[in-house]
C-alpha cells in the first residue's frame, strides 16, 4: 500500500471521497510522521486528536452517504500565529507563553468548517519577524534540506519556517502561512514547495496575531499549485470581524486552473536584476521566461522604477505598525507577567516586555517607535507611505502592458543557520523581491523552479493584479508543469 504521507491535498481528498483509504488512516500516518520528526523542531504543539477527530467526522460522513466537505479527511499544520481555541498559541514568543485562546481565528475556523483537521501548531519567527526562523523563542526550525556531504543545518526560510519544513519533509500535506513581506513565498522557495499570498483582504486577519496590519495576509503552503488553490479557497472569504476584509465571493480557483497562457502577457521587471544576484538565480529566471513563452505567453519587459525603495519603505512601515500592535503585550492581559518585588505598574510593563520579547522584536519596536516619534514622523513614516503609493502605482502602470509578472522569489537559496543572524541588514536583504508586492497588496506566489549547484531548491515568483489569484495560479501551474520539480529532501531526522 502507498505511504499515505506521500500524497498531497487533492489526492487525499479524492482518495477519501472514493473510498481508496480511510481519513483515519491518513491522519494516523501523518501523526506518526510528526511524532518522529522532533529533530526538525517544526511543531510547537502537536494536536493528533484534532486531526483524528476531523478524520473520523469525514469517515462517518462518507459512511452516511453525505457529500463530503472540500477538505474532508485532510490534516494540515497551523502556523502558530493563528489563534486556536483551547490550543496554546504563542507566535513563538515568550511573552505569549501559556496563552490559550478562548476563540478561534477566522482562517482556522474556515479550514475546520471545510473539514480539515489540525496536526499541530507550527514554529515560526517570533511574531513573524524574520527570514530564517531564527528569532523563535522556542528554538530554530531546521530545514529538512542539506547540502551534499555537509550536515550544516540550513534555514527553512521565514517567518513560516515550521510550515515550509512540515510540508517539504512530508509531515503535512499543507500548512497555513502568513505573509507580511514574503513569509509564505521565501520559505516556500527555500524548501521546494509552493505558497501563495492572496490579494490583501482575501483572508480575514481576525484572530491572527498582528504584526503589520496593513500588510499581513494569510495563505496556503503546499506541495503544488492545485493544492494551494484548494486550500486557499477554504481559507479565504469575507469576514465582518475584519474591517479590511474584502466583501467578495471566493472564486472556484481549482476548477479554473489552466496552464495554457495563450493570449497572456508576462512582464519581466528590469529593476529586479539586482547587483550581486547569483548567476544560478539569473539563469533560473531566464528559464522561467522560456517556460512562459512555451506555455503560449508573450514576454514583455516592464519597469518598476521605485523597486529600490521598497525594502527601506517596508522596514519603516512594518516596524511602525508592529510597535503599535505589540503595545498590547503589557503583562496585564495575556501570557507572561514579570512583577518584580515592590514594583509599580510601569515597572511591570518594562520588566514583562524586557523578559518576554526577543531581540529582533525589540529591534522592530525600537525602530517603529523612532520612525513614529514627533520630529521623525514626517522624515520617515510619511515618506515611506509616499514611497508605498509610488510602488503601487508602478505596478498599476506595469499591468497596463502585461497580465502577470515573473521574478525570482529570493536572491539566494537557503543559507546556513547563523550565517546572517548577526547582521540584520543582510537578513532584510533576502526580502528584496517579495516586499514590493506586499506593499502594493497584490497576490503573489512562489513555485519551485529547480535546484542550485548544491542541490538546494530555488523558487520563481509570479505577481498578479489585485484579485487575480487565478492568473497567478495559472502562470505558476505553467511553470510547475515545465519544471517537473520532484526533488525531496533525504530524510536524516
Ligand atoms: N522577512 C520579513 C520580515 O522580517 C517578512 C516577514 C513576514 O512576511 N512576516 O519582516
pLDDT tens profile 208-226:
999 999 999 999 999 999 9
C-alpha 56 – ligand 1 centre gap (Å): 37
- The pLDDT of residue 322 is 98
Sheet holding 404-408, edge to edge: 43-46, 117-122, 75-79, 174-179, 217-222, 194-197, 444-451, 457-464, 404-408, 265-269, 298-302
The whole-number pLDDT of residue 279 equals 94
Q: Which of 130, 198, 420 to mutate to test the pocket of ligand 1 (most atoms within 8 A of CB)?
A: 130
Mean pLDDT, residues 94-106: 96
Mean pLDDT of 187-196: 98
> Between the CA of residue 461 and those of 168, 173, 450, what are the distances in Å?
18, 21, 13
Alpha carbon distances (Å) from 233 to 196, 228, 255, 290 = 12, 8, 11, 30
**pLDDT band for position 408 (50/70/90)?**
very high
Each residue's pLDDT tens digit, 338-348: 988 888 999 99
At 17, list the grid cell.
Answer: 471521497
Taking the C-alpha atoms of residue 176 and residue 183, their distance in angstroms, rounded to an integer, is 11
Around ligand 1, the residues with Cβ closer than 6 Å are 128-131, 159, 179-183, 211, 318, 431
Give the residue ranges of DSSP H helices in 196-305. Answer: 225-235, 279-294
Run of H or E including 300: strand 298-302
Pick the atom of ligand 1 nearest to 315's CA. Answer: 10
User: HSE-up of 94 (CA within 13 Å, CB side)?
Assistant: 17
Q: How confident is the model at residue 334 (pLDDT cuts 50, 70, 90)?
A: confident
Confidence of residue 2 (pLDDT cuts 50, 70, 90): confident
Over residues 340-368, mean pLDDT: 95
Say how many Å lie between the CA of residue 19 and the centre of ligand 1.
Answer: 41
Mean pLDDT of 352-376: 97
Tell me what pLDDT residue 421 has: 84
The 10 Å Cβ neighbour count of residue 299 is 14
N-terminal to C-terminal alpha carbon distance within the chain: 23
Task: Write down the pLDDT at residue 211.
Answer: 98
What confidence tier does 1 reach under pLDDT thresholds 50, 70, 90? low
pLDDT tens for residues 105-129?
999 999 999 999 999 999 999 999 9
From the CA of 318, give the closest atom in ligand 1: 10
Q: Omega before 159 cis (within 30°)?
A: yes
Is the pTM higher than 0.85? The answer reads yes
Diameter of the chain measured on Cα atoms: 72
Per-residue pLDDT reduced to its tens digit, 280-331: 999 999 999 999 999 999 999 999 999 999 999 999 999 999 999 999 999 9
Q: What is the crossing angle of helices 106-113 and 225-235, to 10°?
A: 110
Asked if residue 426 has pLDDT above 90, the reply is no
In this prediction, residues 189-214 reach a mean pLDDT of: 98
Contact criterion met (CB below 8 Å) for 454 and 413: yes
Nearest atom of ligand 1 to the alpha carbon of 131: 1
The minimum-distance atom of ligand 1 relative to the CA of 183 is 8
Query: Looking at residues 247-271, what average pLDDT do you find?
Result: 98
Mutate to test the pocket of ligand 1, among 125, 164, 359, 434 (most ligand atoms within 8 A of CB): 125
What mean pLDDT comes out for the span 194-201?
Answer: 98
Q: What is the DSSP string of 133-172?
A: STT-TT-PPPPS---TT----B---SSSHHHHHHHHTTS-
- Index of the ligand 1 atom closest to the CA of residue 438: 8
Ligand 1 centroid–CA 87 distance in Å is 25
Question: Domains, the chain, ranges and CATH?
Answer: 4-258+472-483 (3.90.1300.10)
Provide the angle, in degrees to the nearest 10, between the axes of the packed helices 310-325 and 359-371: 100
Share of the chain above pLDDT 90, in %: 96
What is the SS3 assignment for 6?
helix
What pLDDT shows up at residue 275? 84
The full DSSP string for 79-96 is ETTB-BTTB---TT-GGG
Q: Would you say residue 228 has pLDDT above 70? A: yes
- Cα(313) to centroid of ligand 1, in Å? 13
Distance 235 CA to ligand 1 centre (A): 21
Average pLDDT estimate for 27-33: 98
- Tell me what pLDDT residue 277 has: 87
- Nearest-CA residue for ligand 1 atom 4 is 130
Which residues are part of the catalytic machinery?
A: 79, 159, 183
Element (H, E) at 461: strand 457-464
Comparing C-alpha atoms, which of 281, 274, 289 is closest to residue 453? Answer: 281
Torsion region of 209: left, alpha or beta (phi above 0 gives left; psi -120 to 50 gives alpha)? beta
User: Does an H or E element contain 44, and which?
Assistant: strand 43-46
Nearest CA owner, ligand 1 atom 5: 181
Distance from residue 431's CA to the centre of ligand 1 (Å): 7
Amino acid at each position: 500500500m502507498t505511504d499515505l504521507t506521500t500524497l498531497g491535498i487533492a489526492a487525499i481528498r479524492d482518495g477519501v471521497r472514493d473510498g481508496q483509504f480511510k481519513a483515519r488512516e491518513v491522519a494516523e500516518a501523518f501523526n506518526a510522521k510528526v511524532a518522529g520528526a522532533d529533530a526538525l523542531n517544526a511543531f510547537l504543539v502537536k494536536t493528533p486528536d484534532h486531526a483524528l477527530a476531523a478524520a473520523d467526522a469525514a469517515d462517518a460522513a462518507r459512511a452516511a452517504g453525505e457529500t463530503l466537505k472540500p477538505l474532508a479527511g485532510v490534516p494540515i499544520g497551523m502556523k502558530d500565529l493563528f489563534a486556536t481555541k483551547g490550543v496554546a498559541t504563542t507566535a513563538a514568543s515568550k511573552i505569549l507563553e501559556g496563552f490559550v485562546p478562548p476563540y478561534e481565528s477566522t482562517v482556522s475556523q474556515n479550514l475546520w468548517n471545510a473539514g480539515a483537521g489540525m496536526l499541530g501548531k507550527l514554529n515560526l519567527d517570533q511574531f513573524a519577524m524574520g527570514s530564517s526562523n531564527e528569532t523563535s523563542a522556542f528554538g530554530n526550525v531546521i530545514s529538512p534540506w542539506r547540502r551534499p556531504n555537509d550536515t550544516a543545518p540550513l534555514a527553512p526560510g521565514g517567518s513560516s519556517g515550521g510550515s515550509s519544513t512540515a510540508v517539504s519533509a512530508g509531515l503535512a500535506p499543507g500548512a497555513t502561512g502568513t505573509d507580511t513581506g514574503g513569509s509564505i513565498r521565501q520559505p516556500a522557495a527555500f524548501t521546494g514547495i509552493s505558497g501563495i499570498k492572496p490579494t490583501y483582504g482575501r483572508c480575514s486577519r481576525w484572530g491572527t496575531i498582528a504584526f503589520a496590519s496593513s500588510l499581513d495576509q494569510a495563505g496556503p503552503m503546499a506541495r503544488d499549485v492545485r493544492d494551494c488553490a484548494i486550500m486557499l479557497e477554504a481559507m479565504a472569504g469575507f469576514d465582518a470581524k475584519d474591517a479590511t476584509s474584502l466583501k467578495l465571493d471566493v472564486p472556484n480557483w481549482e476548477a479554473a486552473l489552466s496552464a495554457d497562457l495563450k493570449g497572456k502577457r508576462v512582464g519581466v521587471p528590469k529593476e529586479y536584476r539586482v547587483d550581486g544576484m547569483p548567476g544560478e538565480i539569473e539563469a533560473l529566471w531566464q528559464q522561467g521566461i522560456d517556460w512562459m513563452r512555451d506555455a503560449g505567453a508573450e514576454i514583455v519587459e516592464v519597469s518598476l522604477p521605485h523597486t529600490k525603495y521598497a525594502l527601506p519603505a517596508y522596514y519603516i512601515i512594518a516596524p511602525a505598525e508592529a510597535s503599535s500592535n505589540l503595545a498590547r503585550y503589557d503583562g496585564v492581559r495575556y501570557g507572561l507577567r514579570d512583577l518584580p518585588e515592590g514594583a509599580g505598574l510601569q515597572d511591570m510593563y518594562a520588566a514583562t516586555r524586557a523578559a518576554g520579547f526577543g531581540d529582533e522584536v525589540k529591534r522592530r519596536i525600537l525602530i517603529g517607535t523612532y520612525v513614529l516619534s514627533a520630529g521623525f514622523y514626517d522624515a520617515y513614516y510619511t515618506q515611506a507611505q509616499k514611497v508605498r503609493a509610488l510602488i503601487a502605482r508602478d505596478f498599476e502602470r506595469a499591468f497596463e502592458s502585461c497580465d502577470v509578472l515573473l521574478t525570482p522569489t529570493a536572491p539566494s537559496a537557503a543559507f546556513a543557520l547563523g550565517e546572517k543572524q548577526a547582521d540584520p541588514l543582510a537578513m532584510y536583504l533576502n526580502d528584496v523581491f517579495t516586499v514590493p508586492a506586499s506593499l502594493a497588496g497584490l497576490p503573489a506566489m512562489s513555485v519551485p523552479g529547480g535546484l542550485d549547484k548544491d542541490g538546494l531548491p530555488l523558487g520563481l515568483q509570479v505577481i498578479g493584479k489585485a484579485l487575480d489569484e487565478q492568473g497567478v495560479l495559472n502562470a505558476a501551474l505553467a511553470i510547475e508543469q515545465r519544471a517537473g520539480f520532484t526533488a525531496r529532501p533525504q530524510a536524516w531526522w
